Amino acid sequence: MKYRSAILIIIAILVIDQAVKIYVKTHFLPGMAGQVDVLGSWFKLHFLENEGMAFGMRLSQSYWGKLLLSLFRLVAVTAGFFFLRRIVNRGYSRGLIICGALILAGAMGNLIDSIFYGKIFSESVYHPARFVPWGEGYADLFHGKVVDMLYFPMIHGTWPSWIPGLGGKEFEFFEPVFNIADAAISIGVLTLVFFQKRLLHRDPQHQQQAPVHQAVES
């Protein structure tokens, strides 16, 4: 698989991710007020913004904590492009390259929110956000909020009474609200975890061609 193909996958995911985020941010009210049923009661669009990581997790609410997280994402994404090119040049499997592209695209999608959204959008509180001139937004550079909207509350129930600490309490599956970038990261990581033996190998054809190229160059 060529590096260009991996880049096209990344671009496609980024375009879809950002298009959905911008539409939701500029048309939906945050929280329950802006919730829309898509497929009955088990798939909803539920607009939320979070300060940090995937699925609404947070590193810190402080100014410096948010800046640290955004800078870490930037470094990770930069390193990710070098790693992706490396596994392509070394002839690793198509599946591994696609997983790498998914993870990198997801990281980039949320990084864009963190870097730029605070500068180009008004605050989302009582009405949907709108584009504003650069610098007139709700936050500094690298301090934007990540937009989430995909919500799958498919199962509601109560924990059995015999479970310590949880007995009698209500539960919901799947409770986290996430976005397409989060989904891309999760798919890439889970595929690597469950199919690593199939993915973590080099293409035999590429290995056979490598000595030939080296001989020609010498």
Query: Hey, what amino acid is at 138?
Result: Y
CB of 91 within 8 A of CB of 202?
Answer: yes
Strands (E), the chain: 36-39, 43-50, 146-151, 155-158, 170-173, 177-178
Query: Catalytic one among 113, 140, 182, 203?
Result: 182
> Could you tell me which residues are beta bridge partners of residue 87?
none
Active-site entry in 17, 37, 113, 148: 148
Q: Long-range CB contacts (< 8 A, 24+ apart) of 201-204?
A: 201/92, 201/93, 202/90, 202/91, 202/92, 202/93, 203/91, 203/92, 203/93
- Is 37 considered catalytic here? no
118 φψ region: left (φ > 0), alpha (ψ -120 to 50), beta (else): alpha
> CB-hemisphere CA count at 13 Å for 33?
9
β-sheet with 146-151: strand ranges across: 36-39, 43-50, 146-151, 177-178
Catalogue the active-site residues.
148, 182
